[in-house]
A and B are shown apart, each in its own frame.
Chain A
Amino acid sequence: MFRFSFQRLRALIRKEFIQLKRDKTTLIMIIMLPVMQLMLFGYAINMDPKHLSTAVISRDNTFLTRSIVSAFEKSDYFNITHKASSDAQGKKLLQQGRVLFVITIPENFTRDVIHGNRPTLLLQADASDPVSIIGATSAMDGIYQSVAQKEFNGSLAYLQNNATPAFSIQVQKSYNPEGFTRYNIVPGLIGMVLVFTGVMMTSLALTRERERGTMENLMSMPLAPLEIMIGKIMPFIFIGMFQATLILLIANLLFEIPVFGSLSVLFVCMFLFIICNLALGFFISTIAKNQTQALQMSIFVLLPCLLLTGFMFPFDGMPLWAQALADMFPLTYFIRITRAIMLKGAGWAEILPDLWPLLILMSVITFFTVKAYKNTLD
């Protein structure tokens, strides 16, 4: 075994960066991939759609319900296009996509309000297009306030109590209960880009070296396997971190998506996840005979990541076998962790249930990679 040498390691890393600097295609991909994906997702969903078609099922026709309906319309988000007479009819309109919302006012609604029974008004939303409804569903408080201000005067002034609203609006999202939003997309996107960089670029960089014959030269030099591995991986750690930071920055500056949790916790988790992916990419390169094979194997990893890990489709909506399969991908845990940190402000304690599987997967993949890597051409 060689003594670990920083002179050697530095030379390896430096070589990697020089090569990267001259590889314009890869360089552009590193920057454009996260930026373009974010722009696509971000702008496609950043529109704040208004005047969305809405159906009303009114079983109580009073000054109050009329006021509520008009408050809905005045919020600019809702456009009452249909009047339905039954739940079934409302459901049909929603299913057909003729309306995005169905407002149901129950019987005796006004009487219940006056008696202080605090009845509930139902707003069903078609969440399969989460993007369109996010603004609308967030307008509920405003609608209540405007109704309260206008109607709860005089003899009804006793209902003006902010602590206990006189009625509530229950938003029921159909078809996509998790309510994917642009907030949810960003953590997934970070994960996806890191998988892409880690697995695909690493495996390609290594098989390229093998294909060009330079790996044989490298192996004939006095280098420890660990030095070659670290030397190869280190630049991609930087690249991954850079890409993640880029996404966070753009998401924040352009789309005002905040990080509620601690940035340092987020970056530590990113680092662990990057190692996971690099090890996987390195592992692929030990099996793949050429760049084409490495690419094929990478896609084999990328596709289930895209489809199963909760990046695109809600995890809970998948059949159990698919969930079990997804549990084997580090990205599944990373997306949950990032969402928890970014959107819910979670700390170490809250992400622990997803952190340890990630750590186990990282150790297993790294173990097999170190085992699979040989410093000979055997």
Chain B
Amino acid sequence: MTKWAIDVKNLTKHFGDRVVVNNISLQVPKGKIYGFLGPNGSGKTTTIRMLCGLLTPDHGEGTCLGYDICTQTDLIRKKVGYMTQKFSFWEDLTIRENLEFVTNIYEMDHVKQRVDEALEKLHLTHRANQLAGTLSGGWKQRLALAACILHQPEILLLDEPTAGVDPKARREFWDEINQLSNQGLTVLVSTHYMDEAERCHEIIYIAYGNIMARGTVAQVIAETKLKTFEISGADVPLLRQKFEHNSDIATMALFGENLHICGTNPTKLQKLIEAQKTLAQFQSKEIETSLEDAFIYYLNKAKEN
């Protein structure tokens, strides 16, 4: 047995003339939570769909749970729990009916018992006969997750599972993901939230169909070689205008009263700041580079290519 739950090489997918996924190779170790990040339209969903056999790659090859993603999709489907970006269970079925349906599709026995257990775990027993469409966003996500793990999959593919869900529901959702991971389940999860990325064992960042970075959060940040300075004081708006379009600054963003500027060359950055010291009122200090800065840096780099 290999240690990879997902092991794919050079996946490429076109839609018409547009290259959506370009030559992506991906190795996801078993039992880990793997974060899949990138801007909208970067090919995350397409990649996930290729992994669970919903799309056939134009080029490339690989395995998911040891099964070929091009020829053994039937076997993959049995062992994958795939949660779509949009709630894709049946809104005109009740919660119980949805769960029963899934249980039957995976040909499980003791349907009623399993569904009852799942409902209890969800704390939805008293609302079992409510139409799924009447649930709030957070509950819909929990129902979807419960339905995805009913058949005890070996890997979860979650496509932006927490989009539009409030922080409390998001935290509960992630607590459950962590729990599942502890039980040995592999999780590949795409997200736009930085805090969620930081909860992953490893992350991969793709932009315009290309992989820009991978590794632990610390590694991904370190790899950019970005240094960040925080500038505060009365003249922040003035400095912001002055620093615009400066080629030494990779990213710049306002956080309340404070301005964060990042660059790959710390000496040049420092010189830039020193030069302004006599002209404006402000203080500056070096701070840790955030994951968000790293991602924007990667995105701009991808744009240049």
Binding site for B on A (CB under 8 A): 1-2, 5, 7-8, 10-12, 14-15, 18-19, 22-23, 212-214, 216-217, 219-223, 376-378
Contacts and interface: CB of A to CB of B under 8 A. Distances in A.
11 contacts: A8-B107, A19-B93, A216-B88, A217-B84, A217-B88, A217-B89, A220-B53, A220-B77, A222-B74, A222-B78, A376-B56
Interface string B53-79: 111100000000000000001100110
B93 A376 contact: no
A18 B129 CA distance: 13
Contact of A23 (B87, B88, B92, B105): B92
Nearest to B46: A377
A15 B84 contact: no
Contacts of A1: 74
Contact of B74 (A2, A19, A213, A378): A2
A11 B107 CA distance: 10
B93 A377 contact: no
A8 B86 CA distance: 24
A87 to B, nearest CB: 68
Nearest to A8: B105
Contacts of B193: none
- Of B49, B84, B88, B100, most buried by chain A (CB within 10 Å of CB) is B88
A254 to B, nearest CB: 35
A376 B54 contact: yes
Contacts of A23: 92
Contacts of B74: 1-2, 222
Contacts of B100: 11
A143 B55 CA distance: 76
Contact of A222 (B54, B106, B131): B106
Contacts of B116: none
B102 interface: yes
Contact of B97 (A18, A222, A377, A378): A18
A1 B73 CA distance: 10
A216 B107 contact: no
Contacts of B84: 213, 216-217, 220
A219 B97 contact: no
Given A14-B101, A213-B84, A377-B55, 17 more contacts: A1-B74, A2-B74, A7-B104, A8-B105, A15-B90, A15-B93, A18-B97, A19-B92, A23-B92, A213-B88, A219-B54, A220-B52, A220-B53, A222-B78, A376-B54, A376-B55, A376-B56
A183 B290 CA distance: 80
Given A376-B54, A377-B54, A221 B90 contact: no
Nearest to A22: B92
Nearest to B91: A212
A29 to B, nearest CB: 16
The 6 closest A-B pairs by CB, nearest first: A11-B104, A217-B88, A220-B82, A213-B88, A222-B77, A213-B86
Interface string B169-192: 000000000000000000000000
B80 interface: yes
B129 to A, nearest CB: 12
B92 A7 contact: no
- Of A12, A220, A378, most buried by chain B (CB within 10 Å of CB) is A220
B21 to A, nearest CB: 13
Interface string B91-129: 111000100111011110000000000000000000000
Contacts of A377: 49, 54-55
A216 B77 CA distance: 12
Contacts of A7: 104, 107
B53 A376 contact: yes
Contact of A221 (B55, B56, B102): B102
B251 to A, nearest CB: 35
Nearest to B84: A216
A5 B56 contact: no
